[in-house]
Structures are given as C-alpha cells and as structure tokens.
Amino acid sequence: MREQRGHDAPGRAGWPGEGYVAEVNRWPLAIVTGCLAAPLFTTLPAQTTLVALAVLSIVACAAWLTRPLGVAGLALCLALLQYAERAGDRLSGAHARTVVPVSGTVTSVPARYPGLLRFRFEPDTAQIEFELPTAIRVSWYYESGVAPEVAPGQRWVLELRLQPPWGAVNFRGADPERWLFANGIGGLGTVRSARRLDGEVSGLAAVHGLRERVARAIDRNLPRDADPGVVRALAIADRSGLEEATRQLLVDTGTAHLLAISGLHVGLAAAAGFWLLRLLLTPIQAFRRGRRLMLATSTGGLLAAFAYAALADLGVSTLRAVVMVAVVMVALVSARAPHPAAALLRAAAAVLVIDPFAPLGAGFWFSFGAVGALLAFFAPRTSTGGAAWRPVWAQAAVTLTLLPISAAWFGLTSALALPANLLAIPWVSFLVVPPVLAGIAALPISDVLATVFWRIGGESAGALLWLLGRLAAL
C-alpha cells in the first residue's frame, strides 16, 4: 500500500494516527514492540529458547498476516542477545576490591567535581589474569587543588581499586546500577596511582577532544557569575559544573529537563545550518532554486544537527532528534509529507535498533512522551481556543504527560512545573541556546567572539534562574 501524502488527505482529520495502517508503518511498530518487550524480562532466556523464538519469528514472516508478529519476535531476539552480551561483560563480585594496574584509553570527557574527576576508561585486552569489562567508570580523587590533566583519547596506566558495577539501594530517585548497565559500564575503579603513556587514539581525540576544548574554553573564559555550568550543560551535555543549589532549584520547579540537550535544541541547530547554507548558496546561479538547493540546504541542516548531537555525546534525546531531522529533510527533498506520528514511530524504531538499552533510561520516555504529547495536541486540525492560548494548552499537555513518567522514575513531581515551563522553555530555546550555539561555531575563529556569545547565553540563563528562584519562593 502506498503512503498518502500531506496532512490533508481524505479521511485524515482527527487523531494523528487515524487511518495509518499502511504497510510502511507496520514494521516500525513491530520493531518498537519487540524492543520494548526486552526490558520486561526479569531473567534472560536460555540460548535454546532464543533460537526457537527466532525460528518461529522467521516462519511468521512468511505470511502477510503474521509478518508483524515475526518482525516483533526478531527484534525481541536481537535485543535480548545484546542484553545477554552486556550482562556477561561485567566485573565479577569475586574481584571486588582487587587492586591491579590497568592500561587503556580515556573515552569520554572527564566530569569535573571539586577534588574529583570521573571518566570512562576502556582497558586493553589480555593484560591481567582475569577478564576485565569493556568499559570502566574511573573515579580519580585528588587533594592538591590542581586536577590531573586528563583528556579524551589519552592512554594511561592506572592502578585501580576495582568494584563490580553495583549501586547503593535508592528507594527514590535514579537507579545507578541500571544506569551503568544501560551505558555499557561493566566495572568501577578508583585510581591509586597513574602514569601517562605516549600516543593518543586519533578517532576519539577528533570527537571528544572537541568537546574537551569547548569545555575548557567555557571554564577558562566565563566568570562564575555568568553560569559556566549551565553553558557547559547546553554546549556539550556536561552537567558536572552545575552547582548543587542550581540542581535543586531545577528539580523543585520541574525544569531540570531543559539543561539536557533535547530535540528542540538539536532542531534549532538544524534550522541554523539549513538557513545559513541557504543564505550562502543563494547567490550562486546553480543553487538559486529547485531541487538542488533543497538537497544542499537539507544536507547542511542534517550535518549541523549531527554535529551538535555529537557534542552532546549522542544521548537518547539527541539521537532521536537527529533521526527526526533526517526524516524531515528526506521529506523536504522528496516532496513527501509523512504524518508526524509516523515519523515519530520511525524515529523510535531507529533509536531502539541502534541502542536497545535506551528504554532503561528516563530520557527515552521523557523524550518520546513529550513529543508524543505535542503531536497529540497539534497534529489534529481541531480548535482548542484562541491562538494565544495554544502554547499554554500545549505545555499543559506535555506537563500532564510527563507527571506520571517523573513519578514512576524519580518518585517525585513538581506542582510548579506548568508555570515554570511556560516561562523557561521559550526563554531557554530563544535566549540561551542560540548564543551557546553561536559560541561553539565562533570558537574556531576567535576565543573572544565565542566568549561574547557564551557570556550572553550565561547571563540569560542567570536571569532565568533568578526568576525561577522567585517562583519557587512562592
């Protein structure tokens, strides 16, 4: 069956998913169903059970009527296989508190706290008598006041006191052990001594090194009163520089999600890349109009979105946003208009295929829940009052959708979420994020120019935090 074009096709009025049972949308739904079923298993099935399920799923794919069930079964099998592989890549409890020298590579931008560095460390293979996990989360405590010079791509020999990836029991709030599993961290380590090795891993230095350069430039050039922690959070998704009072204020007002690089922020980066390239190409005769101009500008928007998402370390929300941007750009180039709900479904399927562990994090549910609420509100062509009230109703829809998700994941909600987000979402989107993005773009040209943009973003963020503080005081 062919997918209908546009939003005004006959019989499309009403709910955004109405009438969408076309073949093209059955497969994303089946993939999403299968991948979301994997975290529901309390124990991993035996290998023979998985083989039997895979064979039944392949047989089901032979018939049109049962094909979605077969696709869902295959997606479930692939997800469970990856769960089993990751469950086996964990440090055994028998090696808890073992102190061993481990050589390897720093593979993340270090999170910097007072007296503490934390970073992802990938050991070399076959170096000690027992098998190490693929990735270790290293904590490096220091007392001298000067943090060790650690950067992504560097190679070190670290004497580590190892621990399995266990977390303290926490009856309210995040589950640290689930977070470690979802991020592929199979062990914890505390540095006892360290020695830097010569050479770097160039691929990591190219990506994470840029994030480190941005982080250091922000810390070096912005004073404390310009909220460098907020700027870092929105530039490279590093929240380690946020003060505890700021964290608590954002939690109290239900606005903590705004300092995660979200789909809205990635969309702004894509729009900036799209229109900037359009401005540069329009004077060229070959790109003044037509499909060639649309293809070039759409590619520029997608590359800008991916570049910003890479600075954010490609988290779930940014990955989903890049996929959504790709869907939109393909629609622009092909002159087709896929239904927004179908685009969201395809984005969810793509995210789960790339990262089947995404549902283990709250960001997946917050991200798709918020976008789904907005689609349910805006996609139907119905009236909900005057245009001035539509942002209020839309924010109310998002807030009401996220309240049960927040309660389920963190055991708390905020009564101030609706008024605080009505103020904070447009403020961050138009007064904070654009100058932060401009500072990143200006950094290769001039540190001074980048600092000017970041200072504007930091001052805007400081004004917002002051207003949120007044709101919380009520």
Gyration radius from the chain CA atoms: 24
Q: Which residues contact 328 (CB under 8 A, 6 or more apart)?
A: 343
Taking the C-alpha atoms of residue 383 and residue 248, their distance in angstroms, rounded to an integer, is: 38
The closest alpha carbon to 302, from 340, 276, 273, 345, belongs to 273
Angle 362-378/340-354 helices, nearest 10 degrees?
170
Taking the C-alpha atoms of residue 373 and residue 397, their distance in angstroms, rounded to an integer, is: 6
Taking the C-alpha atoms of residue 140 and residue 33, their distance in angstroms, rounded to an integer, is: 41
What DSSP line would sit under 175-235, residue for residue? -HHHHHHHTT--EEEEEEEEEEEEEE-HHHHHHHHHHHHHHHHHHHHS-GGG-HHHHHHHH
Taking the C-alpha atoms of residue 373 and residue 340, their distance in angstroms, rounded to an integer, is: 12
Residue at token pair 């891993």: 201
The shares of helix, strand and coil residues in the chain, as percent rounded to the nearest 5, are 60, 10, 30
Q: Which residues contact 7 (CB under 8 A, 6 or more apart)?
A: 337, 339, 379, 381
Measured distance between the N- and C-terminal CA atoms of the chain, rounded to whole angstroms: 56
The predicted structure's pLDDT at residue 430: 85
The predicted structure's pLDDT at residue 220: 85
The closest alpha carbon to 326, from 360, 309, 303, 342, belongs to 303
Tens-digit pLDDT string for the chain (474 aa): 344 444 444 444 444 444 444 455 788 899 999 999 999 998 999 989 999 999 999 999 998 889 999 999 999 999 999 999 999 999 998 999 999 999 999 988 888 888 899 999 999 876 677 889 999 999 999 987 778 888 888 899 999 999 999 877 766 667 888 889 998 999 999 999 999 998 777 665 667 777 878 888 888 888 877 778 888 888 888 887 788 888 888 888 888 777 777 666 787 888 888 888 888 887 777 666 667 788 888 888 889 888 888 887 766 667 777 887 887 777 777 766 667 778 788 888 888 998 899 898 887 888 788 778 877 776 655 555 556 666 677 777 777 787 788 777 777 677 777 788 888 888 888 899 889 989 988 888 888 999 999 999 999 999 999 999 998 888
Sign of CA dihedral 157, 158, 159, 163: negative
Residue 327 half-sphere exposure, CB side, CA atoms within 13 Å? 22
The phi and psi torsions of 102 (rounded to 5 degrees) equal: -130, 125
The predicted structure's pLDDT at residue 8: 41
The predicted structure's pLDDT at residue 338: 65
The predicted structure's pLDDT at residue 163: 95
The predicted structure's pLDDT at residue 91: 93
Long-range contacts of 170-178 (CB under 8 A, 24+ apart): 171/411, 172/410, 172/411, 172/412, 173/410, 173/411, 174/362, 174/409, 174/410, 178/360
Taking the C-alpha atoms of residue 418 and residue 471, their distance in angstroms, rounded to an integer, is: 12
The phi and psi torsions of 428 (rounded to 5 degrees) equal: -65, -40
The predicted structure's pLDDT at residue 6: 41
The phi and psi torsions of 117 (rounded to 5 degrees) equal: -115, 140
* CB neighbourhood size of 348 (10 A): 26
Residues 266/318, Cβ–Cβ less than 8 Å:
yes
* CB neighbourhood size of 172 (10 A): 7
The predicted structure's pLDDT at residue 379: 63
Q: What's this model's pTM, rounded to 2 decimal places?
A: 0.78
Residues 193/159, Cβ–Cβ less than 8 Å:
yes
Residues 190/139, Cβ–Cβ less than 8 Å:
yes
The predicted structure's pLDDT at residue 53: 94
Instruction: Identify any residues that bridge with 193 across adjacent strands, giving them in sequence order.
Output: 159
